[in-house]
Amino acid sequence: MPNYTVTVATGSQWFAGTDDYIYLTLVGSEGCSERTLLDKPLYNDFERGAVDSYDISVGEDLGKIELVKIEKKKYWVHDDWHCKYITVKTPCGDYVEFPCFRWLVDDKEVILRDGRAQLPQHDKTGVAKQHRRKELEQRQKTYRWKEWHPGFPMSIDAKAHSELPRDIQFDSEKGVDFVLNYSKAIENLCINQFMHMFQSSWGDFADFERIFNCTLHIIIQYVMEHWKEDFMFGYQFLNGCNPVVIRKCTEIPDKFPVTQKILEDSLERGLTLEEELKEGNIFIADYEILDAVTPNATDPCTLQYLAAPICLLYKNSQSKIMPIAIQLGQSPGEDNPIFLPSDDEHDWLLAKIWVRSSDFHVHQTVTHLLRTHLISEVFGIAMFRQLPAVHPVFKLLLPHIRFTIAINTKAREQLICECGLFDKANGTGGGGHVELVQKSMKQFTYRSLCFPEAIKARGMDSQEELPYYFYRDDGCSVWEAVISFVTDVVNIYYDKDETVQEDEEIQAFVKDVCSFGMQDFDYCEFPKTLKTKEQLVEYLTIVIFTASAQHAGVNFGQFDWCSWIPNSPPTMRKPPPTKKGEVDLKHIVESLPDRGRSCWHLGAVWALSQFQENELFLGMYPDEHFIEKPVKEAMVKFCKKLAEVTNVIKSRNDGKKLPYYYLSPDRIPNSVAV
């Protein structure tokens, strides 16, 4: 009588084990085994982290084992169980691996294919094809698109984290409770005494230091000491939280009427403004996207204001980027003066503060929320809807979607919803952030997600012209490592361009992203089909890079650069100045956030800058969805390249007063999960 040995591994998450009834059925090419009871309640099998083995005898050889059916039946209460993998040892001594890494909930069965990745056109048996089709049919019922706001990318159809499919929920809902995390941050930062002091202004800039009762990181300390200086203001456009706004200026826009005469004191090389433009020494940051966005009006006791400034910057002879002119509105006129470094120190400082505040809003809502969180969710939902677990691209992308849908759902539930935490301290709260996403979507293109192209489109690609743009340099290094890894994996499964074209599931995936996720907005220019291996490689690289490196580059520096409130005010309580010579220190301090909003802001940027517990960083794939040796070799090669990039960055940072490490691979999580 043939004997099969089945090994079952239970996950190590809390509550991963179970005391329910567990049944297993083997499905082979020549027949099926009987439905076998592996575990009864109180047997102490299938505990957290356990690996349990069982012998199953059958009447005759089952042939090639194609599927494993695993069932969980309730004993007393529903007891979710996380299965990592199942292996089957056949009578002839072969081992067949069945990766699972899924939760079994309620009384539903899970049917597993063996771990070899397979394209749909390469499945030959009816059993395999049917399993593939049924898995996607079920997923498409479970993962449904929903429009959160008109003009937004589509999101998951779930009102709360608890409504999500168990497989994409956080292991512990407490770990992503924004109210709890913000409260914990405020407690850790020892700023409870200021929490309810809304409408109460600080006395002066030094007074802001009272909310820092922790050991300060080197960057925070440096920002506090140098934030007023022009070089620090310019440096942040390159290597701060939002290093994606600055672009080379080749022509002064009509709406910003600066002239040679106005700027001559700032131009060091003895060249005219036209000559400086031609030489590539002039840069611009334009916050037009904020024009006419509704400021936060949720607190009737405090008026809050927004601006849409334009800032001109100059690369001086030391290759530092320095501000040389600021206009706080989009329409030139007597009530919209152009502020200059030669103006009164308070006028110039307040103009820079307004730019920094505007940059904060664009960073939080456009750069961070829309262009990493929301777009990664689109990729994730489409992946679950269109790619079965056996597809190599599903196996490749799954680690880079980990917890993304969960964090976004929780944010819609607590953070960016109406009357959410975002409203408490942000000038774009109360609906302005929604308007900002809607406006930004009209400028959002697929090509802008391709990192090297996005850098080049802003005229910022020359290392010789801009030697201190570390975001660009490190980002390009990581991009090259990712694209090399993706190329290796794609080459394993796709031998030619026609194989990509014949893969109906990958075609359905990209179409779902465009037609549903991005709502078929023509201006976004997302592809609906992929015709070549090169296009597939670029597409997958964009998905992985956006979820990992791009998110890390714009998220984890928030506490460093935004915790010193005057350097990055989340709201302004006085309107932008319309004349020069009327501003003093008192006016500036009263423009900045009050004590209560400062504390909410500080708690927010601290919480958002923390890594998840048990974070998985780029190149770490502990769940072995791939079993093929060539892919595992590609992963080893990928990790080696990432380690080389990490070492280069570490060497460059040694001894620097302002190290840049946000795109160091050992600090880049695999996915958007915070």
Q: The CATH number of the domain where 31 resides is what?
A: 2.60.60.20
Asked whether the beta carbons of 373 and 407 are under 8 A apart, the reply is yes
39 is in an annotated binding site: yes
* Other CB atoms within 10 Å distance of the CB of residue 498: 12
Model pLDDT, residue 215: 57
Residue with tokens 């490190």: 474
Model pLDDT, residue 198: 58
368 is in an annotated binding site: yes
Residue 585 domain flag = yes
355 and 377 both lie in a single domain? no
346 and 408 both lie in a single domain? no
204-227 pLDDT, tens per residue? 888 887 777 665 788 999 999 999
Model pLDDT, residue 142: 97
Residue 34 domain flag = yes
323 closest CA partner among 313, 333, 332, 315? 313
Tell me the average pLDDT across 623-648: 97
Model pLDDT, residue 190: 52
DSSP for 523-571 reads GG---S---SHHHHHHHHHHHHHIIIIIHHHHHTTHHHHHSSGGGS-S-
Model pLDDT, residue 39: 77
In percent, the amount of the chain with pLDDT more than 70 equals: 94
Q: How confident is the model at residue 182 (pLDDT cuts 50, 70, 90)?
A: low
Tell me the average pLDDT across 232-238: 98
Query: Which residues form the domain of 108?
Result: 3-114
Q: Which of 114, 146, 178 is the last residue of a domain?
A: 114
Q: How confident is the model at residue 419 (pLDDT cuts 50, 70, 90)?
A: confident
547-560 pLDDT, tens per residue? 999 999 999 999 99
Q: Which of 84, 114, 144 is the last residue of a domain?
A: 114
Count structural domains, the chain.
Answer: 3
423 and 516 both lie in a single domain? yes
Residues 6+ apart with CB under 8 A from 45: 22, 38, 39, 52
Model pLDDT, residue 411: 93
427 and 292 both lie in a single domain? no
pTM, full prediction: 0.96
Tell me the average pLDDT across 531-551: 98
Domain CATH number, residue 504: 1.20.245.10
Residue 186 domain flag = no
Tell me the average pLDDT across 385-403: 98
- Report the range of poorest mean pLDDT among 50-64, 247-261, 570-584: 50-64
What is residue 482's three-state secondary structure? Answer: helix
373 is in an annotated binding site: yes
Task: Look up residue 212 and give its two tokens.
Answer: 């820092």
Amino acid identity of residue 118, one-letter, is Q
535 and 570 both lie in a single domain? no
Cα 520–Cα 521–Cα 526 angle in degrees, nearest 5: 70
Tell me the average pLDDT across 578-602: 92
Q: Which of 48, 79, 114 is the last residue of a domain?
A: 114
Domain CATH number, residue 314: 3.10.450.60
pLDDT at position 193 over 60: no
313 and 380 both lie in a single domain? no
87-114 pLDDT, tens per residue? 999 999 999 999 999 999 887 889 999 9
Residue 396 domain flag = yes
338 and 399 both lie in a single domain? no
128, HSE (Cβ side, Cα atoms, 13 Å): 19
573 and 633 both lie in a single domain? no
80 is in an annotated binding site: yes
Most confident range (mean pLDDT) of 47-51, 169-173, 177-181, 477-481 is 477-481
Residue 157 domain flag = no
Residue 430 domain flag = yes
374 and 353 both lie in a single domain? no
Asked whether the beta carbons of 397 and 543 are under 8 A apart, the reply is yes
19-69 pLDDT, tens per residue? 788 899 999 999 999 999 987 776 677 888 899 999 999 988 899 999 999
105 and 79 both lie in a single domain? yes
291 is in an annotated binding site: no
Alpha-carbon torsion, ordered 248, 250, 254, 256, to 10 deg? 40
Tell me the average pLDDT across 159-175: 85
502 closest CA partner among 532, 527, 540, 543? 532
532 and 658 both lie in a single domain? yes
Asked whether the beta carbons of 413 and 512 are under 8 A apart, the reply is no
303 and 328 both lie in a single domain? yes
